[in-house]
Amino acid sequence: MKKKVALSTAAILLALNAGAACADPKKGFGLDVGVSHNSMSATSIPGGTSYSYASSGLSIGIDYQIPVSENLSVNPFLMSAGESTSGAVKPGTTAGHGILGIQLRYWAGNVFVGGHLARYSEVLDNPNLPTVSAVGNGGGIVAGWEQPDGGLYVMGQLDSAKYQYVDANVKLTGFRLSGGYRWK
């Protein structure tokens, strides 16, 4: 459902911006901060018992935008988030999420839409229990707006990833909304 909403929003933004003069994507580093929310559905190994948990918090990210043409850019990126948890985890557990990936963005004026492939990580920490972590692969979509000459930007990102703990397979579905600044 979230992906349909994001794709519809991106299509509307592109249609509204279709008559605008095309601004080349600007080369340079970007730094953004925002909010993140992740939902995890897990299946225990062995046994196959299903359970779920969620986490919400603050995120920070960096990227480097490389224009490929007037309508395309490649953006290697790194994102980290610190989040509180709820659901089928022990009280007091915090989650750390990280994403290392690469995005391909299509630009129509100052609006962009794109997708990414990435390596995802999760760390669950509780002061009364051992820290556990897992990594896995996934992807997602991104949409946003950037000032014509670089500078301020806003973006939304949807993520989907699978990773495996020693005792559970986990599917992550996440959303991040952030604002940032690009140095040119």
Q: Which residues in 67-91 are b (16+ Cβ under 10 Å) and which e?
A: beeeebbbbebebbbbbebeeebee
pLDDT by residue for the chain (184 residues), tens digit each? 555 545 545 554 454 444 444 568 999 999 999 999 999 999 999 889 999 999 999 999 999 999 999 999 999 999 999 999 999 999 999 999 999 999 999 999 999 999 999 999 999 999 999 999 999 999 999 999 999 888 999 999 999 999 999 999 999 999 999 999 999 8
User: What is the amino acid identity at position 133?
Assistant: S
Per-residue pLDDT, 4: 54
Q: Provide the token pair at 69.
A: 């043409």
The pTM score is: 0.86
Give the length of the chain: 184
Q: Which residues, in sequence order, are CB contacts of 35 under 8 Å at separation 6+?
A: 56, 57, 58, 59, 176, 177, 178
Residue 72, phi-psi category: left (phi > 0), alpha (psi -120 to 50), beta (remainder) = beta
Domain that holds residue 147: 2-18+26-182
Tokens matching residue 128: 């009364």
Give the integer Cα–Cα distance in Å for 99 and 119.
6
Q: How many domains does the chain have?
A: 1
Domain with residue 108: its CATH number is: 2.40.160.20
The C-alpha atoms of residue 104 and residue 123 are separated, in whole angstroms, by 27
Q: What residues pair up with 56 in beta bridges, in sequence order? A: 37, 84
Type of residue found at 179: G
Q: Do 147 and 62 contact (CB within 8 A), yes or no?
A: no
Phi-psi region at 39: left, alpha or beta (left = phi > 0; alpha = psi -120 to 50): beta
